[in-house]
């Protein structure tokens, strides 16, 4: 098949418009259709990238060709003579890692939001000319992408190629005057490019990432010094004032982080912010295996026109979330106490989500398209995160398998061998069957209760047999994220709601005091016990009042004043802490060593 040829140019940075042309030599005789995807793999929401297309036109060797919109994501060109080109102008002003961005300082795009797919040509090879911009300040720009070069110099503008449309759109492209460090791991070159006004210790970053990446290669390879499943990997980082997120690709990842997340020069310790950045990088890197190569059968191939339903996102995101922080500890980048703090936070997050009793992680996976990615004020009551709860199911599965002389490590290697290395998708019951084979027993009760059901995970007892104590205590104020020690200011009571800076109730928790008093999310508190409602006053009540105390509350619902009586409830013990169990028997200590080192 003749290649599909693309040209992408950043001619109009201040209008945030990419001009993207798509040319085919042999268009369909009776009218060729061109389609843009509706979603991008890794982010399970219908995004309808076509809505950012500002204008579209077509021409052939003789001149303009009629081009009509026939569906929200589809254009149809009239009969053409010889090669047919469709050109679109795409508005690109999203700093996230999911679509595209263009201004005078930086250009970035994901393929699904800019590259039209000519209908019937998904398997055709692709050629892309990335045109150098000409605006002042772009002279120092370079190109960072893992698309294969086809004439372009390393880091240069020019021609790149892909063997199919699926490959074309899985290599995002960053163009800017970025900073760059590199390191080796798994026999592959790893590049880190950082765009944005950030000062950081690049050597430190490369050293820590190298340990994490090699550890992951070794996990899947089953031996020290194992090879990565690619020759080159790219971390594309955009550092901003406030931001956090990432998207995985087959040999790269795009990350957005806050400047303070990068390691400051001269600071030796792993700060909370830097640890969060390493966790994010570790997460996306783990996806190189788990979801980019080991895929649910529902993603083989991706249907990017509509939702691709699977009940397994808890495994692809949850297992990845379990290993992202575990990899930091097991590679020696953070210590066990630091890891336990992260694990405690994940547990606390789930404990503070009443929706964990309503939605299973399998249901959360299936409905990601309309729930996880479209949260509202009732989300904590109705939903559970397949990331966070999924990571705890992964922990429980790991410890359960370890109780039967196997492990999640072994399961991941099996998934890699049977599915990742072969390209065969994982059927909906594939993970359970593999786990049962490794454990040598039926695990239906585990999967029914914790994956398809909403039973509380038996983490305390599983951790006890691995030499780790798990306890619960009430939260300490707004910033509490976990940890063992209380600071003496733990609240005694709870109002059963979260309050925003403007004294507006953000979430009202199912069954809590605020819900029982008839208060709703969106109500603005004006008075608490006859005095002006302030965050400090409410915090003071939380510390000093007793369960059962009744407080008069005034609030505005829209513009109407309402009165309610809040009967304060005992503060829930929803903060988890973990510690090495000093009384653990020798066999439990040995299991702990095998798990954490
Ligand atoms: Zn992920």
Q: pLDDT for 344-390, tens place per residue?
A: 999 999 999 999 999 999 999 999 999 999 999 999 999 999 999 99
d(CA 42, ligand 1 centre) in Å: 7
Residue 287 has pLDDT above 70, yes or no: yes
The answer to whether residues 257 and 280 touch, using CB atoms and an 8 Å cutoff, is yes
Cis preceding linkage at 573, omega within 30: no
Non-local CB neighbours of 229 within 8 Å, separated by 6+ positions: 220, 288, 289, 293, 420
* Mean pLDDT, residues 500-517 taken together: 96
d(CA 159, ligand 1 centre) in Å: 31
Non-local CB neighbours of 582 within 8 Å, separated by 6+ positions: none
The answer to whether residues 178 and 236 touch, using CB atoms and an 8 Å cutoff, is no
Query: Residue 503's pLDDT band (boundaries 50, 70, 90)?
Result: very high
d(CA 280, ligand 1 centre) in Å: 9
d(CA 313, ligand 1 centre) in Å: 9
d(CA 546, ligand 1 centre) in Å: 42
Q: Quote the pLDDT of residue 38.
A: 98
Nearest to 329 by CA among 208, 234, 463: 208
Q: Quote the pLDDT of residue 548.
A: 95
d(CA 292, ligand 1 centre) in Å: 10
Instruction: State how far the alpha carbon of 25 is from the alpha carbons of 60, 80, 112, 120, 395, in Å.
Output: 10, 10, 22, 13, 53
Q: Quote the pLDDT of residue 475.
A: 86
Q: Quote the pLDDT of residue 488.
A: 54
Q: What is the mean pLDDT of the chain?
A: 96
The share of the chain scoring above pLDDT 70, in percent, equals 98
Q: Quote the pLDDT of residue 190.
A: 98
The answer to whether residues 352 and 345 touch, using CB atoms and an 8 Å cutoff, is no
The 3-state DSSP class for residue 394 equals: helix
Determine if residue 488 is left, alpha or beta; phi over 0 gives left, psi from -120 to 50 gives alpha, anything else beta. left
d(CA 283, ligand 1 centre) in Å: 6
Q: What digits encode the pLDDT tens for the residues 188-200?
A: 999 999 999 999 9
Lowest mean pLDDT among 104-118, 207-221, 329-343, 528-542: 528-542
d(CA 327, ligand 1 centre) in Å: 15
Q: Quote the pLDDT of residue 453.
A: 98
* Mean pLDDT, residues 242-265 taken together: 98
| 458 vs 393: CA distance, rounded Å | 10
d(CA 478, ligand 1 centre) in Å: 27
d(CA 293, ligand 1 centre) in Å: 13
| Tokens 């692709």, located at residue | 126
What is the rounded end-to-end Cα distance, in angstroms, of the chain? 51
* Mean pLDDT, residues 424-433 taken together: 98
d(CA 573, ligand 1 centre) in Å: 29
d(CA 425, ligand 1 centre) in Å: 18
Residue 588 has pLDDT above 50, yes or no: yes
Tokens of 169: 């759109």
d(CA 385, ligand 1 centre) in Å: 12
d(CA 71, ligand 1 centre) in Å: 31
d(CA 287, ligand 1 centre) in Å: 7
Query: Residue 1's pLDDT band (boundaries 50, 70, 90)?
Result: confident
Residues having C-beta closer than 5 Å to ion ligand 1: 317
d(CA 555, ligand 1 centre) in Å: 40
Lowest mean pLDDT among 233-237, 408-412, 454-458, 499-503: 499-503
Residue 479 has pLDDT above 70, yes or no: no
The 3-state DSSP class for residue 398 equals: helix
* Mean pLDDT, residues 115-122 taken together: 98
d(CA 407, ligand 1 centre) in Å: 21
d(CA 390, ligand 1 centre) in Å: 11
d(CA 284, ligand 1 centre) in Å: 6
d(CA 254, ligand 1 centre) in Å: 12
d(CA 318, ligand 1 centre) in Å: 8
Query: Residue 482's pLDDT band (boundaries 50, 70, 90)?
Result: very low
Q: What digits encode the pLDDT tens for the residues 162-198?
A: 999 999 999 999 999 999 999 999 999 999 999 999 9
d(CA 387, ligand 1 centre) in Å: 8
d(CA 158, ligand 1 centre) in Å: 32
Instruction: State how far the alpha carbon of 523 is from the alpha carbons of 123, 519, 537, 559, in Å.
Output: 54, 7, 17, 10
d(CA 108, ligand 1 centre) in Å: 20
Residue 478 has pLDDT above 90, yes or no: no
d(CA 458, ligand 1 centre) in Å: 25
Non-local CB neighbours of 456 within 8 Å, separated by 6+ positions: none
Q: What digits encode the pLDDT tens for the residues 535-550?
A: 999 999 989 999 999 9
* Mean pLDDT, residues 225-249 taken together: 98
Query: Residue 221's pLDDT band (boundaries 50, 70, 90)?
Result: very high
d(CA 219, ligand 1 centre) in Å: 18
d(CA 320, ligand 1 centre) in Å: 6
Residue 490 has pLDDT above 60, yes or no: yes
d(CA 43, ligand 1 centre) in Å: 9
Q: Quote the pLDDT of residue 501.
A: 86
Q: Quote the pLDDT of residue 485.
A: 46
d(CA 48, ligand 1 centre) in Å: 21
Non-local CB neighbours of 2 within 8 Å, separated by 6+ positions: 24, 25, 26, 124
d(CA 247, ligand 1 centre) in Å: 7
Angle (CA) 66-70-45 rounded to 5° is 130
d(CA 151, ligand 1 centre) in Å: 33
d(CA 24, ligand 1 centre) in Å: 35
d(CA 515, ligand 1 centre) in Å: 34
Query: What are the start-end ranges of the H helices in 227-319?
Result: 272-286, 313
């Amino acid at each position: 098949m003749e290649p599909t040829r693309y040209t992408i140019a950043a001619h109009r940075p201040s209008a945030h418009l990419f001009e993207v042309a798509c040319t085919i030599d042999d268009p369909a005789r009776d009218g060729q259709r061109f389609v843009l995807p509706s979603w991008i793999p890794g982010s399970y929401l219908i995004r309808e990238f076509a809505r950012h297309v500002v204008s579209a036109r077509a021409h052939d060797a003789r001149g303009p060709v009629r081009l009509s919109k026939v569906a929200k994501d589809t254009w149809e060109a009239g009969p053409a003579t010889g090669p047919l080109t469709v050109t679109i102008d795409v508005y690109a002003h999203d700093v996230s890692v999911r679509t595209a961005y263009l201004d005078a300082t930086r250009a970035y795009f994901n393929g699904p939001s800019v590259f039209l797919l000519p209908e019937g040509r998904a398997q055709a090879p692709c050629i892309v000319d990335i045109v150098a911009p000409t605006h002042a300040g772009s002279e120092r720009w370079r190109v960072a992408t893992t698309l294969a070069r086809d004439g372009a110099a390393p880091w240069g503008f020019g021609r790149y190629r892909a063997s199919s449309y699926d490959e074309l759109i899985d290599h995002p492209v960053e163009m800017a005057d970025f900073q760059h460090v590199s390191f080796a791991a798994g026999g592959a070159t790893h590049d880190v490019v950082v765009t944005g006004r950030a000062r950081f210790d690049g050597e430190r970053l490369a050293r820590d990432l190298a340990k994490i990446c090699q550890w992951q290669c070794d996990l899947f390879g089953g031996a020290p010094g194992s090879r990565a499943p690619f020759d080159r990997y790219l971390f594309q980082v955009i550092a901003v004032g406030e931001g956090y997120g990432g998207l995985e690709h087959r040999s790269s990842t795009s990350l957005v982080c806050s400047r303070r997340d990068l390691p400051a020069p001269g600071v030796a310790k792993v700060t909370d912010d830097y640890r969060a950045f390493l966790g994010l990088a570790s997460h996306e890197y783990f996806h190189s295996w788990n979801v980019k190569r080991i895929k649910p059968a529902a993603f083989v191939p991706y249907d990017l026109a509509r939702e691709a339903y699977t009940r397994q996102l808890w495994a692809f995101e949850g297992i990845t979330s379990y290993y992202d922080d575990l990899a930091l500890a097991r590679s020696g980048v953070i210590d066990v106490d630091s890891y336990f703090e992260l694990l405690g936070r994940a547990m606390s997050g789930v404990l503070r989500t009443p929706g964990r009793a309503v939605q299973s992680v399998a249901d959360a996976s299936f409905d990601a398209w309309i729930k996880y990615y479209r949260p509202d004020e009732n989300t904590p009551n109705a939903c559970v995160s397949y990331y966070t709860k999924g990571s705890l199911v992964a922990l429980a599965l790991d410890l359960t398998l370890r109780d039967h002389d196997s492990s999640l490590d072994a399961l991941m290697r099996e998934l890699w061998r049977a599915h990742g290395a072969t390209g065969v998708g994982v059927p909906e019951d594939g993970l359970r069957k593999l786990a049962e084979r490794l454990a040598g027993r039926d695990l239906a009760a585990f999967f029914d209760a914790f994956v398809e059901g909403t039973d509380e995970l038996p983490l305390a007892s599983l951790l006890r047999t691995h030499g780790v104590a798990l306890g619960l205590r009430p939260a300490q104020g707004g910033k509490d994220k976990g940890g063992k020690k209380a600071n003496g200011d733990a609240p005694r009571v709870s109002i059963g709601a979260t309050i925003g800076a403007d004294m507006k109730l953000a979430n009202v928790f199912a069954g809590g005091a605020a819900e029982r008093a008839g208060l709703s999310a969106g109500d603005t508190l004006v008075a608490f016990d006859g005095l002006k409602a302030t965050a400090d006053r409410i915090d003071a009540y939380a510390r000093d009042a007793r369960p059962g105390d009744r407080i008069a509350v005034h609030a505005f619902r829209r513009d109407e004043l309402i009165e309610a009586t809040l009967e304060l409830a005992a503060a829930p013990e929803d903060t988890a802490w973990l510690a090495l169990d000093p009384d653990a028997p020798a066999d439990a200590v040995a299991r702990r060593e095998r798990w954490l080192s």
